[in-house]
Amino acid sequence: MNLRDLDLNLLLVLHQLLIDQQVSVAAEHLGLSQPAMSNALKRLRTALNDELFVRTGRGMQPTPYAASLAKPVAQALALLGQALQPRIAFDPTSSLRRFTLAMTDIGEIWFMPRLIEALLQRAPGVSVTTVRSDAQLSEGLAGGTVDLAVGLQPDLQNGFYQRRLFIHRYVCLCRRDHPLTRQPMTSDDFCRQAHVHVAATSTGHGEVEQHLRRAGLQRDIRLQVPHFVAVGHILQRSDLVATVPERFASTCLVPFDLVALPLPVPLPEIAINLFWHARYHKDPANQWFRDLMFELFSD
């Protein structure tokens, strides 16, 4: 028979009859009236084309076919019952879960030190892997290979949740004794400087660069790099300047003896959000991890 033609509720009836072998007792255990139970048995016999149970002096005895169904039906119902149990709460203190975060290198610089510190204290068995956002990010989030994405992700719309962490504002970063630090910086001063440009076109920082070009600000770009990791080292030993997010700048001031100056031109503020797929919206582990991210980094 085709499973689509069978009312699966009848499997509960069959299972209980196989246990009790009395219609009245099985009906009581299932919360049914005896006529309803008898009707269900009639439907089962029709659907399975077998008598299933016959009356004897010892009650309703299963036919060989009904007896052969006892074990697989019990296993199937038990499996369904387990699957439909309430979600098991996530215990960070005992979990060995590895979470995967999609972010840029500037995200690693800002998020990772504080996040790892918190995990070592609260969830000592939990570990983290970071990956770069790419064209397969939405598939990774939907498939569970990536748990969360952080940043500006305009392509993650339908089927995704997002939550604001903070707003990126931009500053001009340079060494402490740079000539720019001697007086307020004008837009001409800014454009005349030798710049290091981080070519992060697929990120929110890329939008800032586009805004500068649209505003007609022609900078003297002496060095272009694909990421932020080397910016502090470069500025420390040169007269180059860089336009960088304020939070990144704050991580460079002391280690590289740099200063952050207000920009003389208005730049758009970039929203940094946390993204996750709707499939994992109620997953206890995912909920715990994103709540931790929000607690640690939200403005």
- Rounded CA gap, 294 and 81, in Å? 34
Among the listed residues 295, 292, 299, 297, the one whose alpha carbon sits nearest the alpha carbon of residue 126: 292
Check residue 88 and give its pLDDT.
Answer: 74
Higher pLDDT, 83 or 9: 9
Confidence of residue 120 (pLDDT cuts 50, 70, 90): very high
pLDDT single digits (tens) 222-233:
999 988 889 999
Task: Decide: 165 and 292 in contact? Cβ < 8 Å.
Answer: no
- Rounded CA gap, 14 and 21, in Å? 10
Check residue 194 and give its pLDDT.
Answer: 94
Check residue 2 and give its pLDDT.
Answer: 64
Token pair recorded at residue 35: 């006529």
- In which residue ranges of the chain is CATH 3.40.190.10 found? 98-167+271-297, 170-268
Over 70: is that where the pLDDT of 236 sits? yes
Confidence of residue 3 (pLDDT cuts 50, 70, 90): low
pLDDT single digits (tens) 84-108:
766 678 899 999 999 999 998 888 9
Token pair recorded at residue 174: 């340079």
CB atoms closer than 10 angstroms to residue 119: 18
* CA–CA distances in Å: residue 96 to residues 102, 134, 142, 182: 20, 27, 22, 53
Comparing 59-63, 123-127, 144-148, the range with the smallest average pLDDT is 59-63
Higher pLDDT, 248 or 9: 248
Over 70: is that where the pLDDT of 221 sits? yes
Proportion of the chain above pLDDT 70, given as a percent = 95
Task: Please report the sign of the dihedral spanned by the C-alpha atoms of residue 249, residue 250, residue 256, residue 259.
Answer: positive
* Average pLDDT of the chain to the nearest whole number: 87
Confidence of residue 71 (pLDDT cuts 50, 70, 90): confident
For the chain, the maximum distance between any two Cα atoms, rounded to a whole number of angstroms, is: 106
3-83 architecture in CATH?
Orthogonal Bundle (1.10)
- Rounded CA gap, 10 and 47, in Å? 10
- In which residue ranges of the chain is CATH 1.10.10.10 found? 3-83
Check residue 242 and give its pLDDT.
Answer: 94
What pairing do the DSSP bridges indicate for beta strands 127-131 and 220-225? unpaired
How is domain 98-167+271-297 classified at the CATH fold level? Answer: D-Maltodextrin-Binding Protein; domain 2 (3.40.190)
Mean pLDDT of 49-64: 86
What does CATH list as the number for 170-268?
Answer: 3.40.190.10
Over 80: is that where the pLDDT of 24 sits? yes
Cα-based torsion angle of the residue sequence 128, 198, 204, 236 in order, rounded to the nearest 10 degrees = 70
Higher pLDDT, 4 or 246: 246
